[in-house]
């Protein structure tokens, strides 16, 4: 149990308002486009209109003639400096500017630099590129056909297969499948979608030729990793590169990869000798930067007649587009997809994934997701509903019969994970009670009698976050630990710098609350800094809900180191031995004499003015935290939907979300995270898809087609929590940021399929647009 601190201290569990919002709501944030430097110029990309074409000529003369244009950089120019290609964060390489051919629509072909943004954009129109169209590969199912065009002729392997990856016991799983009394199969496509953060990607790059220092303001979720990649790509000494990630207007995984625009702006800054700004347009963001999902999945479950599951077999085809630009831990080409056994106690499982190239924008990034856990959670939660339907069993009951029981934790999953803790039944029970499940089922039966379409969908998902332990997790060899450096000033105020980088999650508030909890210094007295590689300790950044499990843990352990030093100083001040002291947040007291005490502020002052002889002055500590395991948050979400028979429109009537992320730092922030993630999950389920026509033209590349939900479609989310602390995390917390995005799509789809199940509908692929639903209703004779 955590000691409760006073509201003045504001340690863990206090719903204190977000400190950073003071500047955000006043319009005083400092986003990338707010960065203005003397003499700054602007870059604009020339992009390919074709998905697959040979470049036969690029003519830049007309563009260069436009007054105000300073340079037009092409792939050929970059090739001379050996910079035409760059490494991706997953052991592939990617063209910075196309040389030879283009591989997706909107690919970067040339970079125009001009005195102002408009001139740069106008000049980009004057760059003439001759293309010779090549056969286009859009369907990933055809990528391995013998007559498929080989897209990546730069690779030694003359194939479109990026990887084949498998885990689990194939033979034992097949054996169980064969002998099982019941099996259920679902083929589910998780469409390509895009994080579409409010702020697009961008950078300002400044090179100081006198000092040799390159300063890069980048919309980066992982500033240190980007600095190291810059050093390796550009050959600049790492101490001469400073990456500053200023305020970020949403990242969601979109701002993890290194994009060609950053490299082009750096090359331009180095050659022109002036700072260069590049800001992506909205369409460029949607059409060319890190997309997510695009998983074609198949799951087969084996069970007995009572619905007790025994085996799971999963086969998946992953469309990674033209370059494998996913940021993925090295050992996991399909991310953490092997958590696809979910919350259920399977004795055998086998999972295989083929990743392929197609003529589409590159990526496969983890959109508010711990490396493919969203796809995994969706698949297993859909599959459980298909099995329930097959057995004519209530989906809540089926889940109850198969949950990993609390006494089995730490639970070794058949696909190799060790789940730290869980109480899945507890979350399900609370969700059922809160939504009034039994009454809703009665209402549904009555409505069905009247010909109305109402559905209830459950998702009892398990997450896997906090990448990750160094023995298993690295990105490009960089181990995935994270860090905190805490310095307490003489007046008892403090600053803590972190290896992570908030993009709106409220880190400036919650990390301060961790220090408040551990040291009793009020959260308001602790400044948090992230995102400047010259000052922050090395860390792998913020994505995959890893901040609390990694840097949060580092913050607590750095604070505990400070507390140990504070104890020595308190003993010196109170003239007692350290063993005679007891701690409560904010002060050390002499045991049995509570009146004799020293506050943390008094101790901090003494650390600079009156410390014991021989002790190193000051009060600070740094901690690099290498987690022993990941954390496994979980929850149950229940959606209630009504379908309009005339239009096929689905209305989400109610949605109850019960989350368990262990001990909570700030309940208000957690609730905010859940609201945001559910809204994104709803958008994915009902309205968003990036698809391509057969020529590789991107559909859904603007907000006219790629719909963003408004308050009109969004229901009033009903949230709640259970608390099952992580046994290995220093303060029992698990991550939460992505849970709602991971868990909710299955709840929405399960609800819609449930509403139509009596018509024989077993599965519908997202997005569940009115048009798609209306067609089904028409086919089933429900509507004209
Ligand atoms: O890595 P990211 O910040 O996206 O995800 P996270 O670690 O799940 O944290 C999201 C926000 O929720 C942060 O402000 C956390 O400090 C907060 N949080 C919390 O208050 N309690 C938890 N148990 C987990 C997260």
Query: What single-letter DSSP state applies at residue 237?
Result: -
Compute the distance between CA of residue 457 and CA of residue 752 in angstroms, rounded to an integer: 7
Query: Buried b / exposed e across 557-583, counting CB within 10 Å, b at 16+?
Result: bbbeebbebbbbbbbbbbebeeebbeb
Compute the distance between CA of residue 742 and CA of residue 730 in angstroms, rounded to an integer: 25
Q: Is 555 in the pocket of ligand 1 (CB under 6 A)?
A: no
How many CA atoms lie less than 13 Å away from 601 in the CB half-sphere? 9
Compute the distance between CA of residue 26 and CA of residue 387 in angstroms, rounded to an integer: 51
Residue holding tokens 């082009």?
A: 264
Residues with Cβ within 8 Å of 299's Cβ and at least 6 positions away in sequence, in order, are 185, 186, 188, 312, 313, 314, 340, 379, 380, 382, 383
Residue holding tokens 């001040």?
A: 573
The closest alpha carbon to 548, from 416, 401, 670, belongs to: 670
How many angstroms is it from 548 CA to the middle of ligand 1? 5
The pLDDT value recorded for residue 54 is 98
Specify whether 775 is catalytic: no
Specify whether 513 is catalytic: no
Cβ(303)–Cβ(184) below 8 Å: yes
Q: List the helix and strand counts (H, then E) for the chain.
A: 18, 35
The closest alpha carbon to 737, from 663, 650, 653, 678, belongs to: 678
The whole-number mean pLDDT for each consecutive block of 10 residues of the chain, a chain of 784 residues, reads 92 97 96 98 98 98 98 97 92 95 98 98 98 98 97 95 98 97 98 96 97 97 94 89 98 96 96 97 96 97 98 98 92 96 98 98 93 97 98 98 98 98 98 98 98 98 96 94 98 98 97 98 98 98 95 98 98 98 97 95 98 97 98 98 97 98 98 98 97 95 93 96 98 97 98 98 98 97 88
Query: What single-letter DSSP state applies at residue 576?
Result: S
**Neighbouring-strand partners of residue 42:** 114, 277
Q: Is 735 in the pocket of ligand 1 (CB under 6 A)?
A: yes
The pLDDT value recorded for residue 363 is 84
Specify whether 221 is catalytic: yes
Q: Is 598 in the pocket of ligand 1 (CB under 6 A)?
A: no
Compute the distance between CA of residue 281 and CA of residue 388 in angstroms, rounded to an integer: 46
For residue 582, the Cα-to-chain-centroid distance in whole angstroms is: 41
Atom of ligand 1 nearest to the CA of 734: 23
Compute the distance between CA of residue 51 and CA of residue 285 in angstroms, rounded to an integer: 17
Q: For residue 717, is the peptide bond before it cis, meaning its omega torsion is within 30 degrees of 0?
A: no
Compute the distance between CA of residue 51 and CA of residue 453 in angstroms, rounded to an integer: 42
Query: Which of 526, 548, 666 to mutate for ligand 1's pocket (most ligand atoms within 8 Å of CB)?
Result: 548
Cβ(647)–Cβ(773) below 8 Å: no
How many angstroms is it from 367 CA to the middle of ligand 1? 16
Residue nearest to atom 2 of ligand 1 (CA): 545
Residues belonging to the chain: 784
N-terminal to C-terminal alpha carbon distance within the chain? 60
Q: What is the pTM of this model?
A: 0.97
Query: What single-letter DSSP state applies at residue 767?
Result: P
How many angstroms is it from 672 CA to the middle of ligand 1? 10
The pLDDT value recorded for residue 233 is 80
Cβ(298)–Cβ(189) below 8 Å: no
């Amino acid at each position: 149990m955590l000691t409760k601190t006073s509201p003045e201290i504001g340690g863990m569990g206090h719903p204190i308002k977000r400190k950073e919002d003071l500047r955000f709501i006043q319009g005083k944030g400092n986003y990338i486009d707010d960065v203005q430097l003397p003499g700054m110029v602007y870059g604009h990309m020339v992009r390919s209109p074709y998905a697959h074409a040979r470049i036969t000529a690029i003519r830049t003369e007309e563009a260069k003639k436009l007054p105000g244009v300073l340079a037009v950089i092409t792939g050929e120019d970059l090739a001379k400096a050996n910079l035409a290609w760059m490494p991706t964060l997953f052991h592939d390489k990617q063209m910075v500017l196309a040389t030879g051919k283009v591989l997706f629509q909107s690919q970067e072909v040339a970079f125009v630099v001009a005195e102002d943004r408009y001139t740069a954009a106008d000049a980009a129109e004057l760059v003439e590129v001759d293309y010779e169209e090549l056969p286009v590969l859009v369907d990933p199912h055809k990528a391995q056909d013998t007559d498929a065009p080989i897209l990546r002729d730069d690779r030694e392997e003359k194939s479109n297969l990026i990887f084949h990856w498998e885990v689990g016991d194939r033979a034992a799983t097949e054996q169980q499948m064969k002998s099982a009394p019941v099996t259920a199969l679902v083929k589910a496509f998780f469409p390509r979608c895009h994080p579409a953060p409010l702020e697009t990607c961008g950078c300002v790059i400044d090179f100081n030729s006198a000092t040799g220092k390159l300063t890069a303001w980048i919309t980066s979720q992982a500033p240190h990793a980007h600095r190291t990649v810059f050093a390796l790509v550009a050959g600049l000494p790492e101490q001469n590169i400073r990456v500053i990630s200023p305020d970020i207007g949403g990242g969601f995984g979109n701002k993890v990869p290194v994009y060609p625009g950053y490299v082009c702006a750096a090359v331009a800054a180095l050659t022109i000798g002036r700072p260069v700004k590049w800001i992506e347009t909205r369409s460029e963001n949607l059409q060319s930067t890190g997309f997510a999902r695009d998983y074609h999945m198949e799951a087969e479950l084996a069970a007995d007649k009572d619905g007790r599951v025994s085996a799971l077999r999963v086969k998946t085809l992953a469309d990674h587009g033209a370059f494998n630009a996913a940021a993925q831990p090295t050992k996991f080409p399909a991310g953490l997809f092997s958590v696809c056994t979910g919350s259920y106690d399977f004795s055998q499982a086998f999972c295989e994934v083929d990743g392929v190239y197609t003529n589409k924008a590159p990526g496969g990034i983890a959109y508010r997701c711990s490396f493919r856990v969203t796809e995994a959670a969706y698949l297993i939660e859909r599959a459980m509903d298909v099995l329930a339907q097959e057995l004519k069993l209530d989906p809540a009951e089926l889940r109850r019969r198969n949950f990993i029981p609390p006494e089995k934790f730490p639970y070794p999953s058949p696909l190799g994970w060790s789940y730290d803790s869980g109480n899945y039944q507890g979350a399900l029970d609370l969700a059922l009670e809160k939504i009034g499940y039994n009454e809703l089922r009665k209402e549904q039966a009555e409505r069905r009698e009247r010909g109305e379409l109402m559905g209830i969908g459950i998702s009892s998902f398990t997450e896997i976050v906090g990448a990750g332990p160094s023995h298993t997790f690295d990105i490009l060899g960089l181990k995935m630990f994270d860090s905190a450096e805490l310095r307490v000033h003489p007046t008892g105020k403090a600053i803590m710098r972190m290896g992570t980088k908030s993009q709106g999650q409220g880190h400036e508030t919650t990390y301060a609350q961790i220090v408040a909890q551990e040291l009793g210094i009020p959260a308001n007295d602790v400044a948090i800094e992230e995102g400047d590689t010259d000052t922050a300790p090395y860390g792998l950044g913020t994505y995959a809900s890893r901040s609390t499990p990694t840097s949060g843990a580092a913050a607590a352990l750095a604070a505990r180191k400070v507390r140990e030093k504070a104890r020595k100083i308190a003993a010196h001040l109170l003239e007692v031995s350290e063993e005679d002291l007891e701690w409560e947040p904010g002060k050390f007291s002499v045991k049995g004499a509570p009146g004799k005490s020293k506050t943390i502020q008094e101790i901090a002052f003494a650390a600079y003015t009156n410390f014991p002889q021989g002790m190193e002055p000051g009060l600070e500590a740094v901690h690099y935290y290498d987690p022993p395991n990941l954390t496994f948050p979980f929850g149950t979400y229940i959606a209630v939907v009504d379908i309009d028979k005339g239009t096929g429109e689905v209305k989400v009537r109610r949605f109850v979300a019960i989350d368990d992320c262990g001990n909570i730092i700030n309940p208000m922030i957690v609730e905010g995270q859940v609201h945001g993630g559910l809204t994104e999950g709803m958008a994915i389920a009902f309205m968003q898809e990036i698809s391509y026509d057969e020529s590789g033209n991107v559909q859904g590349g603007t907000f006219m087609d790629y719909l963003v939900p408004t308050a009109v479609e969004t229901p009033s989310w009903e949230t709640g929590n259970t608390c099952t602390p992580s046994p290995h995390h220093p303060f029992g917390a698990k991550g939460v940021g992505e849970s709602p995005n991971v868990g909710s799509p299955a709840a929405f789809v399960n609800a819609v399929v449930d509403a139509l199940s009596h018509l024989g509908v077993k599965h519908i692929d997202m997005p569940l647009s009115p048009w798609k639903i209306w067609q089904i209703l028409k086919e089933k004779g429900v509507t004209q």
